[in-house]
Amino acid sequence: NTVSATRDGKGTKVMIIGGDGYCGWATALHLSARGYSVCILDNLCRREFDMQLGLETLTPIASVHDRVKRWGEVSAQNIHLEIGDLCDWDFFSDAFRNFAPDAVVHFGEQRSAPYSMIDRQRAVFTQHNNVIGTINVLFAIKEFKPDCHLVKLGTMGEYGTPNIDIEEGYLTVTHNGRTDTLPYPKQAGSFYHLSKVHDSHNILFAARAWKIAATDLNQGIVYGVRTEETMADPLLINRYDYDGIFGTALNRFVVQAAVGHPITVYGKGGQTRGFLDIRDTVRCIQIAIDNPAAKGEMRVFNQFTEQFSVRDIADLVKRLGAPMGLNAEIIQIPNPRVEAEEHYYNAKHAKLEELGLQPHLLGDSMIDSLLEFAIRYKDRVRMELIKPAVDWRKTPVTSGTAKAAVKAD
Amino acid sequence: NTVSATRDGKGTKVMIIGGDGYCGWATALHLSARGYSVCILDNLCRREFDMQLGLETLTPIASVHDRVKRWGEVSAQNIHLEIGDLCDWDFFSDAFRNFAPDAVVHFGEQRSAPYSMIDRQRAVFTQHNNVIGTINVLFAIKEFKPDCHLVKLGTMGEYGTPNIDIEEGYLTVTHNGRTDTLPYPKQAGSFYHLSKVHDSHNILFAARAWKIAATDLNQGIVYGVRTEETMADPLLINRYDYDGIFGTALNRFVVQAAVGHPITVYGKGGQTRGFLDIRDTVRCIQIAIDNPAAKGEMRVFNQFTEQFSVRDIADLVKRLGAPMGLNAEIIQIPNPRVEAEEHYYNAKHAKLEELGLQPHLLGDSMIDSLLEFAIRYKDRVRMELIKPAVDWRKTPVTSGTAKAAVKAD
Ligand SMILES: NC(=O)c1ccc[n+]([C@@H]2O[C@H](COP(=O)([O-])OP(=O)(O)OC[C@H]3O[C@@H](n4cnc5c(N)ncnc54)[C@H](O)[C@@H]3O)[C@@H](O)[C@H]2O)c1
Ligand SMILES: NC(=O)c1ccc[n+]([C@@H]2O[C@H](COP(=O)([O-])OP(=O)(O)OC[C@H]3O[C@@H](n4cnc5c(N)ncnc54)[C@H](O)[C@@H]3O)[C@@H](O)[C@H]2O)c1
């Protein structure tokens, strides 16, 4: 048993939908190591997207079966594995009833904005997969385990970039002399981000109508690949996406620096977003589970620790990469997205810290959780995957653009 | 040619998705009579719901083929008919490209809140059908006719019942010393109403990203069955739903009064909503088409003319029914929905009137457009369809509740 941790989970049964993914895998092991009884449910569509688009994680990840098996050997903890589609009600309802979770952590969605903008078919897939999947989770809880706490991953991208402060889920408005607290207005910037907005509205309704306890975590952009448990054995290593479709800004910049590719800032680079370390993601989930929402409440936490502009991040990668021998150049490329490139941004994120989150800071994590991995695995980098592959203004109705990710130009 | 009207439509090509439905049929004829070139696209799923659930319109409606044929004879105007599913891209994109509309009026959704709450399968159907259908419309416009104006039917139910005034689509908020105009916060009360919220978010994104011109009409509850064109011939008569699933409050109360059934107010009856006459619906659509939104703009109009509480309406039916020999009793029944029964409600609806809408008022329409029909067709009323059939708190995961509408108790 090479993994050490307190056992404060005390057998709490947690179903992790999307548990083979980037956040889900790290969270599954984090919770399993701490005494929670974990079931991973995943249809492996994320691995299928990689196959279809010719993408590959930087880190060599094991199959889900090998991962789970190895984790059993390393930790002496059993993770229950259910392979199937959340949108398939027969499969999902059986799995849910059999495991009868105390909490469901729902990561299981198509989560790439560029993927959702490749073509009409993938826009439709993304909204169907995400919206219907979440409806199924709500019905399962209502019908089979009304006390089960739903911990749902949303995104900070739901808010867009309003010209006022971003609050955590709700906004108190005084208008024509009357006051109410209302869901914070949403202005999402891709079919993916929109699917999360739809989920949030559906969950709010179900929480109120069916007295479900729900936590909606509006997560910022996650970076890094190191968590204690995923580092415990090579077969447990987490995925690290650096391509133009699934790679998020920071992860991509670091890989670009590692291989001597210019750091590609989209447009002016004033786009400001919330970020967090994957080690904080797993803690946030644990905190949400340990401090459940009330029945009938959809509680919203903004799950990120620091906000940066894309330019800030590029500069940081360049500065911290230099002592490690990297000589990164920063270039601006035409922005393939439709988004404000200079804007006000001030998003609140106090609630998870009030519940005990102790943030890792990017300045510290850059070296050990990012640059170190990018340099270690840089021979695996496929240069053709680095550029942006999807243009928001073009999104065609014809499919056959699967080659977008690897096209030659 | 028995239909007289000005020909101010001047051949403007309008595709009416859902043109076999209640609002769509009246609108198609209204526009056709006025010189617009009309294509109806409908998959007839509304008629299929009636068959499956054992429901029936009060008025005897002709088949869509007979309707359209008869209209050609009566008006000497040809309506182009496309039978098929908006969610079927091959079918829809062909029909759209062939007709190449200047405006698309999109009524083609599953539009009953109770239907969407019958069971899990119908909740999923409603959100899939409505959300994916609207995505298809957006892609068709973007790809094949970027200047086509989208006129999309939303609902006042998207707003819920906030404790502040309801504005037309957007709310100007001052918060911590900064100001922005943001999408009005949405709090929908059924999977159906939620599907409209999702549509609105998707349309706002597409309008901005793809420079589409869109008008989102947040329509109130439509009443009445009389429009000039649908009265021109028995084969043209419009549908009138009075059952517990598709019948809206006012239409149902009138039928109840006509057959001597007590008027069934859900709960306290303080639920206040916006209402409009079907004769105003058709005018609003014409006004929206004649005054298109700008490219890149999603313009929102609240499409209703008067607001009433359910109690107000029951009283009005009782009062105006009396001189026509109806002796209606008003009873309160347990509310099958989850909604506030006493609340603040003040919704703005100035924009369509600024563009020329001259409202019919319920006090005047009650007799000629409602009571008259209910009395004329009262022998067709099936008493077992009158009661509420769907309970919001129960919505099971199992299907086979199709009998909900006609169950004996
Ligand atoms: N990674 C980030 O920076 C980030 C930021 C904000 C929010 N999020 C959210 O966190 C969650 C996890 O993100 P991630 O980066 O780990 O994504 P990921 O793609 O690596 O993981 C998602 C997992 O869900 C599975 N999945 C998808 N649809 C499914 C379905 N219908 N049935 C069963 N399994 C299904 C996939 O196979 C995959 O393993 C997502 O909901 C995402 O939107 C992620
Ligand atoms: N009737 C009201 O009081 C009211 C109030 C507010 C908003 N609305 C909205 O106005 C619109 C029309 O309402 P209505 O009362 O006429 O409804 P309706 O059900 O009578 O008409 C809708 C029509 O759309 C068709 N349709 C549905 N899905 C389709 C698909 N995938 N492909 C092709 N056709 C499809 C149906 O067959 C039907 O003929 C709806 O969008 C509704 O939400 C209606």
Is the CB–ligand 1 distance for residue A218 below 6 Å? no
What is the amino acid identity at position A112? S
Domain with B378, as residue range(s), is: 13-384
Looking at ligand 1, which atom is closest to the CA of residue A45? Answer: 37
Q: How many Cβ atoms are within 10 Å of A90's Cβ, its own excluded? A: 9
Q: How confident is the model at residue B403 (pLDDT cuts 50, 70, 90)?
A: low
pLDDT per position as a tens digit, A278-314: 999 999 999 999 999 999 999 999 999 999 999 999 9
Min Cα distance B379 → chain A (Å) is: 38
Chain A partners within 8 Å of B134 (Cβ): none
Relative to beta strand B263-266, strand B330-333 is: parallel
Average pLDDT rounded to a whole number, residues A233-256:
95
Domain count, chain A: 1
Chain B partners within 8 Å of A191 (Cβ): 135, 202, 205
pLDDT per position as a tens digit, A143-153: 999 999 999 99
Residue B2 lies in a domain: no
Residue B408 lies in a domain: no
Residue A133 lies in a domain: yes
DSSP state of B230: T
Residue A54 lies in a domain: yes
Distance A106 CA to ligand 1 centre (A): 8
Residue B213 lies in a domain: yes
Average pLDDT, chain B: 95
Residue A78 lies in a domain: yes
- How far apart (Å, rounded) are the C-alpha atoms in residues A360 and A313? 16
Residue B406 lies in a domain: no
Average pLDDT rounded to a whole number, residues A320-343:
95
Q: What is the pLDDT of residue B409?
A: 47
Average pLDDT rounded to a whole number, residues B92-96:
98
Looking at ligand 1, which atom is closest to the CA of residue A25? Answer: 16
Is the CB–ligand 1 distance for residue A20 below 6 Å? yes
DSSP H helices, B214-290, are 249-258, 278-290
**Nearest-ligand number for the alpha carbon of A64:** 1
Q: What is the pLDDT of residue A5?
A: 63
Lowest-confidence pick of A108-112, A394-398, B235-239, B299-303: A394-398
Top-confidence range, A375-379, B2-6, B388-392, B395-399: A375-379
Q: pLDDT at residue B24 above 60?
A: yes
DSSP string, A146-173: TTPEEEEEEEGGGG---SS-B-SSEEEE
Q: Measuring CA to CA, which residue among B359, B358, B185, B214 is closest to residue B300?
A: B214
Residue B7 lies in a domain: no
Q: pLDDT at residue B1 above 50?
A: no
- The C-alpha R_g of chain B, in whole angstroms, comes to 20
pLDDT per position as a tens digit, A20-52: 999 999 999 999 999 999 999 999 999 999 999
Interface-testing mutation among B87, B138, B199, B202, with chain A (most A C-beta atoms within 10 A) = B202
Q: What is the pLDDT of residue A407?
A: 55
Q: What is the pLDDT of residue B366?
A: 85
Chain B partners within 8 Å of A395 (Cβ): 139, 142
pLDDT per position as a tens digit, A151-192: 999 999 999 999 999 999 999 999 999 999 999 999 999 999
Torsion of CA B154, B155, B157, B161, to 10 degrees: 100
Q: Between vectors from CA A160 to CA A155 and to CA A164, what angle results, nearest 5°?
A: 120
Looking at ligand 1, which atom is closest to the CA of residue A106? Answer: 41
Q: Measuring CA to CA, which residue among A215, A222, A359 is closest to residue A290?
A: A215
Average pLDDT, chain A: 95
DSSP state of B347: B
Average pLDDT rounded to a whole number, residues B176-204:
98
From its phi and psi, is residue B11 left (phi > 0), alpha (psi between -120 and 50) or beta?
Answer: left
Q: How confident is the model at residue A408 (pLDDT cuts 50, 70, 90)?
A: very low
pLDDT per position as a tens digit, B235-291: 999 999 999 999 988 999 999 999 999 999 999 999 999 999 999 999 999 999 999
Min Cα distance A122 → chain B (Å) is: 11
- Is A69 labeled as catalytic in the residue annotation? no
pLDDT per position as a tens digit, B198-224: 999 999 999 999 999 999 999 999 999
pLDDT per position as a tens digit, A48-102: 999 999 999 999 999 999 999 999 999 999 999 999 999 999 999 999 999 999 9
Q: How confident is the model at residue A1 (pLDDT cuts 50, 70, 90)?
A: very low
Q: Both tokens of residue B402? A: 């199709």
Q: What is the pLDDT of residue A405?
A: 58
Residue, of A399 and A134, whose pLDDT is higher: A134
- How far apart (Å, rounded) are the C-alpha atoms in residues A56 and A74? 26
Identify the CATH number of the domain in which residue A177 sits: 3.40.50.720
